[in-house]
Amino acid sequence: MNTKIIRINKETEYSEQLTEASEIILTGGTVVFPTETVYGLGGNGLLADAAQKIYAAKGRPSDNPLIIHIAEPCDAEKYAFVNDVYYRLAEAFMPGPLTVIMPKRECIPLSVTGGLDTVAVRCPSHPVAHALIKKCGVPIAAPSANISGRPSPTSAKYVEEDMLGRVDMIIDGGECEIGLESTIVKIDGNSLTLLRPGAITRDALLCVCEDVKIAPAVIHKLAENEKPLSPGMKYRHYAPNADLVLLDGNSDDVLSFMINEQKSTGCAVLCYDEELSCLNPDLSIAIGTRNDLATQAKKLFTSLREADKLGAAKIYAHLPTLDGLGLALYNRMIRAAAHTIKKI
């Protein structure tokens, strides 16, 4: 397949440039587009065939459902049975990095929802994503635009690494602001279950809904034969080719361990900016300063991809804390590490 690439500058007029992209979507093709979280691999959310093409391009099992992206929060009513809680969430966080799971309406094909009777709905704030969905006039079904199991792409460079020749078009809209995928919640009556933490933190959700449970698989490894609340929880994710090991201990001890390991084994590390000068610069990737979780989130997936290119067999990184945005970092990193944590 020949992949057409178009580059868009957010600051200038680009509506015309999206005409061809919307035609591709409407005729059942696939277009990768930027969002504020990560790049999405989009297809027409009302066409069963488009979902099949998305699964094929990603190499994703077709029981792992897709998120549908809408232009306005109220469009959710066309595709899902919404309630008050949805509107409270929409008021507070949409458009933005929040996905809400609700009972689906008939018009959404089962192939989009992996056979489930619920659908995941998200209204992105990225202007290019918004303009594209609006132009199409249909919801855009889109998972992250990576080959299944690889880190989600946060710039077109990484989309091209994974998707060239696998999709009809890639829209390069620059770097994604947030860098981690959206927060996913499931509405159950008046309460919420957090299925995937993201930039909308649990504390922020608690301001809107007083009952926010955290699904156990967000932090813990699923027990064998345990049925996950979200199919995506059972797959290995974000994984570099090297073995990632998370180090749990006080920062000084962890840094000493990294320094010694680099000398003795030539391992790679993901470190904080302020640690870089103590480490081997050829084997170290800085992901932001210790307390700047937003930068760490933005750089995490890129850092995992770049760490792999250093060619080391092992990558060490700090185990994040569970507070605020730390929960999202923790969730992505324990999956990338296949739950390998070493106490220091």
Binding site for ligand TXA (CB under 6 A): 35, 37-38, 40, 64-67, 99, 101, 113, 116, 118-120, 122, 142-144, 181-182, 184, 195, 230-232
We find the least distance from the C-beta atom of residue 152 to ligand TXA, in angstroms, to be 6
- Strands 67-69, 140-141: pairing is antiparallel
Torsional sign, CA 150, 153, 154, 157: positive
We find the least distance from the C-beta atom of residue 166 to ligand TXA, in angstroms, to be 15
Q: Which residue has the tokens 């933190």?
A: 201
Answer yes or no whether residue 144 interacts with Mg ion by CB under 5 A: yes
Binding to Mg ion (CB under 5 A) within 280-339 occurs at: none
- Of residues 155 and 284, the one with the C-beta less far from Mg ion: 155
Among 319, 321, 283, 322, smallest CA distance to 303 is for 283
The 102-141 contact track toward Mg ion, x by CB under 5 A, reads ----------------------------------------
Tokens of 12: 């200038």
* Dist. CA 139–CA 142, nearest whole Å: 9
Report what 113 binds from ligand TXA, Mg ion, none; CB cut-off 5-8 Å by kind.
ligand TXA
Q: Considering CB under 5 A, how many residues would be counted as binding Mg ion?
A: 1
We find the least distance from the C-beta atom of residue 140 to Mg ion, in angstroms, to be 15
- Of residues 120 and 317, the one with the C-beta less far from ligand TXA: 120
> Shortest Cβ contact with ligand TXA: which residue?
232
Tokens of 166: 């696998």
Among 190, 177, 204, 225, smallest CA distance to 324 is for 204
179 sits in the region (left: phi over 0; alpha: psi -120 to 50; else beta) called left
We find the least distance from the C-beta atom of residue 72 to Mg ion, in angstroms, to be 24
- Of residues 67 and 307, the one with the C-beta less far from ligand TXA: 67
CA distances from 107 to 40, 47, 48, 161 (A): 22, 9, 10, 34
We find the least distance from the C-beta atom of residue 42 to ligand TXA, in angstroms, to be 8
Report what 230 binds from ligand TXA, Mg ion, none; CB cut-off 5-8 Å by kind.
ligand TXA
238 sits in the region (left: phi over 0; alpha: psi -120 to 50; else beta) called left
- Of residues 65 and 95, the one with the C-beta less far from ligand TXA: 65
We find the least distance from the C-beta atom of residue 191 to Mg ion, in angstroms, to be 25
Q: Which residue has the tokens 């649990």?
A: 202
Report what 43 binds from Mg ion, ligand TXA, none; CB cut-off 5-8 Å by kind.
none
User: Could you tell me how far CA 237 lies from the centroid of its own chain?
Assistant: 10
We find the least distance from the C-beta atom of residue 64 to ligand TXA, in angstroms, to be 5
Among 44, 236, 66, 233, smallest CA distance to 148 is for 236
Residues shown for the chain: 344
Given the rule CB under 5 A, which residues bind Mg ion?
144
